[in-house]
Amino acid sequence: MRTVLKSLSALVVALLPCFVACQPVDSLPTTSDRKSAAPLRQAALTVQVDAQYNQFFTRNAAWNGGDGVYSVPLPDGRVFWTFGDSFIGRVQPDRSRIAAQNVFVRNAVLVQQGETFDGFRTLNQGATTDTGAKTYFVHSLEKNGRDWYWPLDATVYGGKLQVVLSHIRKTGSGSWDFKNASIDLAICSPTTGAIEKLIPNKYQGEWGYGGALCEAADGYTYLYGVVHGTLTTSVVVARAPKGDLTAAWTYWNGSKWGSSPNRYAVYKDASDQFSVFRSGSKYYLFTQEIIFGRRLYLSESTSPVGPWTNKRLLYTIPEEHGTGKVFTYNALVHPELSKTGELMISYCVNAHNFGDNFAVPGSADLYRPYFIRVYNWQ
């Protein structure tokens, strides 16, 4: 239901005719005892299912299913969550979703206060009703049924929440016939979440800048997008000065920044949604295996534009979340919810058959995020 964008389209087209943990200095072995000292070892990488957050997103009223799971910390300590295509309504105790008691909206917003189940609130108009919910970020052409917004990453600047919006346009009658038409910005109140201003056409084209944001040490906010090829994707980069996404963007061409978008790829074969974040003096690019793969990878760099090295496998999503009736995609890191020494990661599952989201026990859990925590990831 969300930005797998051209990756799946390309796949379908292709297949029709024939994707030293640092110790204190004084604890290191001295020259005299190095021969007998055991080699220093890092703690092993471990992964745990985040049962708490899985329960938080196993919801029975208001928002109860969606993808595109972005989160951003607000100045008052709350967390602002955005989702793409979502169900809002009621879920039965057996986790069945009744179509007549739900509305399908193009995007949704939840705000989290604290870490309790009741600390999550859906902000969409009509969210407390079974059939009255409305899309949160509404494109001016949405009534034609061919234009809508899927939210991407977000940041806070100048006391305002800046949300990157992918303007999606339907291009045909098929389920996967759509493209990114532009990147727009929503300026929102960080207190209420209310949309104060929409800035259209910050970028016009099919490259989804803002699928990942990184606030770098040089004072710029970097916006990462993808260019789709046949069974492949390339990551391109823009940046905005002083963290203000409303300012003029410049684009990386491999050697310098310019005023025009450039196809220069800083990374190959990232998923449509991925994360870039900074920890200490390093930058990390986290991505899911493309074409709905179950493997989650992490690479690192000393620069926000790469080169990205030391690519390693962090986790393989369980078969039950990526085979059979469902596929998996859109894994993201949530730095603001990651405690020291760990990464909190979400990934989405989706039903191959839209009808499987309804009427039978467990159907409400076929389209939703799941969460894990990765320890000793560095």
Tell me the per-residue pLDDT of 88-123, one tens digit each, with 9 for 90 and over: 999 999 999 999 999 999 999 999 999 999 999 999
Q: Which helix (H) or strand (E) holds 225?
A: strand 221-229
Q: Is 211 strand, coil or helix? A: coil
> What is the rounded distance in angstroms from the CA atom of residue 66 to the CA atom of residue 139?
19
Q: Is pLDDT at 275 greater than 70 in this prediction? A: yes
156-205 tens-digit pLDDT: 999 999 999 999 999 988 877 899 999 999 999 999 999 999 999 999 99
Q: Is pLDDT at 27 greater than 60 in this prediction? A: no
**In this predicted structure, what is the pLDDT of residue 13?**
35
Q: What percent of the chain has pLDDT over 90?
A: 84
Q: What percent of the chain has pLDDT over 70?
A: 89
4-13 tens-digit pLDDT: 444 444 433 3
- At residue 104, what is the residue type? F
Mean pLDDT of 333-346: 96
> What is the rounded distance in angstroms from the CA atom of residue 238 to the CA atom of residue 147?
24
Contact 233, 226 (CB under 8 A): yes
Fold of 5-21+40-375: Tachylectin-2; Chain A (2.115.10)
**In this predicted structure, what is the pLDDT of residue 19?**
34
31-75 tens-digit pLDDT: 334 344 445 556 799 999 999 999 999 999 999 999 999 999 999
Mean pLDDT of 302-322: 97
The dihedral built from the CA positions of residue 235, 241, 243 and 245, taken in this order, carries a sign that is: negative
> What is the rounded distance in angstroms from the CA atom of residue 134 to the CA atom of residue 123?
10
pTM, two decimals, is 0.89
**In this predicted structure, what is the pLDDT of residue 12?**
37
Contact 237, 304 (CB under 8 A): yes
**In this predicted structure, what is the pLDDT of residue 18?**
38
The pLDDT-based confidence of 230 (bands split at 50, 70, 90) is confident
Distances (CA, A) of 131 to 98, 207, 341, 363: 11, 34, 43, 18
- Compare 42 and 251 and report the one with higher pLDDT: 251
321-334 tens-digit pLDDT: 999 999 999 999 99
- At residue 14, what is the residue type? A
Contact 265, 234 (CB under 8 A): yes
Mean pLDDT of 265-278: 96
Q: Which of 1, 245, 196 is nearest to 108 (CA)?
A: 1
Which of 18-27, 276-285, 302-311 has the weakest average pLDDT?
A: 18-27
**In this predicted structure, what is the pLDDT of residue 6?**
41
Beta bridge partners of 301: 283
Q: Is pLDDT at 311 greater than 80 in this prediction? A: yes
DSSP class of residue 127 equals T
**In this predicted structure, what is the pLDDT of residue 231?**
82
**In this predicted structure, what is the pLDDT of residue 1?**
56
Q: Where are the alpha helices (DSSP H) in the chain?
A: 5-15, 51-56
Which of 2-16, 220-234, 257-271, 312-326 has the weakest average pLDDT?
A: 2-16
For every residue of 320-348, DSSP letters joined together read GGTSTTEEEEEEEE-GGGPPTTEEEEEEE
